[in-house]
Amino acid sequence: MGQVISLGAKTGSPANIDALLALTATDMAAVNTAILARAVSHVELIPELAQHLINSGGKRLRPMLTVASGRLCGYDGENHIKLAASVEFMHTATLLHDDVVDESHLRRGRVAARTLWGNEASVLVGDFLLGQAFKMMVEVGSLEALDVLSSAAAIIAEGEVMQLTTARQLATTEDDYLAVINAKTAALFSAAAEVGAIVADRPAGERAALRSYGRNLGLAFQLIDDALDYSGAEDELGKSVGDDFREGKITLPIVLAYRRGSEVDRKFWKRTLEKGDRGDKDLAHAIDLLNRHGALDATVERARHFGAIAVDALGIFPDGDYKPALSDAVNFAINRRG
């Protein structure tokens, strides 16, 4: 199960984020300290639940974008650390709320917080983290950064609502789906990168370039996630093949396979995803259909398009260590196997 998607970075850049990890190691350690310091509360449940998520081993790609963008813009202060921690808290809050909405039992291969502590606690601790995120932003004192991050928070919530209305709808178009992931995923990537330029007090053109870099990286990242859900290597990050299918999610591979398929195929998709009537052998058949219609390859192709836009967006910045590292991160996002 899980076919190997042939990717091969066209640019010849390495498909890893080693350079970015090395460049941001010191900053990210400081971000980690800030996160741990702010996930505390005298209400016992809060640190307990927050730690569960914080320790569950995400890549921290979003806060890494903030610190790397700040450094790319020549920033040498400390405010990017708090903004990066805010970005991660916003992301964590979204995950908590998402799991409640999606009724998920697993998150990154671990039992979801809501399964251990219940929906109410997950919703409220999410709100707490969002509050802490805004407190840190206020401490930084940049109204522009607050504007960008609070706008992103609103857009993310809008995206969730949008997704509720398109859920289980095979009529969802590719444009509709792109609008959802633009809000749900790309908005935070975009804001995370843009505030790096804001904290460094750089002109509008550089802000816009990083906003565009983040947005398009986010879109590429999410589309590859969607493809990997039907084809990725198991065990990395704890995600297993077929999670989206088991949750009845309409992602781009499904949108494409549905449109490219026969009437018989469409009946299969309607039964399994719209009606939620899924049996043991259905995942294998779904993967077979996705491959037969080139839906996974096409999803990767679409991701490449956004990746190319992200790389071009960086063009205006001076050469140095951060620019190629951020460019490699795009290739990594597209070429990863899990």
List interacting residues with its own copies (CB under 8 A): 169, 171-176, 203-205, 208-209, 211-212, 215-216, 255-256, 258-261, 298, 301-302, 305, 308-309, 312-316
The residue among 83 and 252 lying less far from its own copies, judged by its C-beta, is: 252
User: Could you give the CA distance from residue 25 to residue 22 in angstroms, rounded to a whole number?
Assistant: 5
Q: How far is the CB of 272 from its own copies (least distance, A)?
A: 18
The residue among 128 and 221 lying less far from its own copies, judged by its C-beta, is: 221
Q: How far is the CB of 218 from its own copies (least distance, A)?
A: 12
Q: How far is the CB of 276 from its own copies (least distance, A)?
A: 19
Q: Give yes or no for a contact between 235 and 157, defined as CB atoms under 8 angstroms apart.
A: no
The residue among 92 and 172 lying less far from its own copies, judged by its C-beta, is: 172
Q: How far is the CB of 85 from its own copies (least distance, A)?
A: 27
Q: How far is the CB of 115 from its own copies (least distance, A)?
A: 35
User: Could you give the CA distance from residue 324 to residue 227 in angstroms, rounded to a whole number?
Assistant: 26
Q: How far is the CB of 130 from its own copies (least distance, A)?
A: 26
Q: How far is the CB of 173 from its own copies (least distance, A)?
A: 4
How far CA 102 is from CA of 125, 251, 273, 300, in Å, comes to: 17, 14, 14, 25
The residue among 125 and 303 lying less far from its own copies, judged by its C-beta, is: 303
Q: How far is the CB of 259 from its own copies (least distance, A)?
A: 3
The residue among 52 and 202 lying less far from its own copies, judged by its C-beta, is: 202
Q: In sequence order, which ranges of 60-142 are alpha helices (DSSP H)?
A: 61-72, 79-102, 113-117, 119-140
Q: Please count the other Cβ atoms lying within 10 Å of the Cβ belonging to residue 37.
A: 11
Q: Give yes or no for a contact between 270 and 248, defined as CB atoms under 8 angstroms apart.
A: no
User: Could you give the CA distance from residue 194 to residue 216 in angstroms, rounded to a whole number?
Assistant: 12
The residue among 267 and 305 lying less far from its own copies, judged by its C-beta, is: 305
Residue closest to 338 by CA, chosen among 246, 237, 216: 237
The DSSP-derived string for 132-196 is HHHHHHHHHT-HHHHHHHHHHHHHHHHHHHHHHHHTT-TT--HHHHHHHHIIIIIHHHHHHHHHH
Measured in degrees and rounded to the nearest 5, phi and psi for residue 111 equal: -60, 135
Q: How far is the CB of 207 from its own copies (least distance, A)?
A: 9
Q: Say which residues have a Cβ less than 8 Å from residue 289's Cβ, sequence separation at least 6.
A: 257, 261, 265, 268, 269, 295
The residue among 89 and 258 lying less far from its own copies, judged by its C-beta, is: 258
Q: Say which residues have a Cβ less than 8 Å from residue 80's Cβ, sequence separation at least 6.
A: 27, 66, 67, 70, 71, 195, 196, 199, 200
The residue among 128 and 213 lying less far from its own copies, judged by its C-beta, is: 213
Torsion sign, CA atoms 217, 218, 220, 221:
positive
The residue among 30 and 170 lying less far from its own copies, judged by its C-beta, is: 170
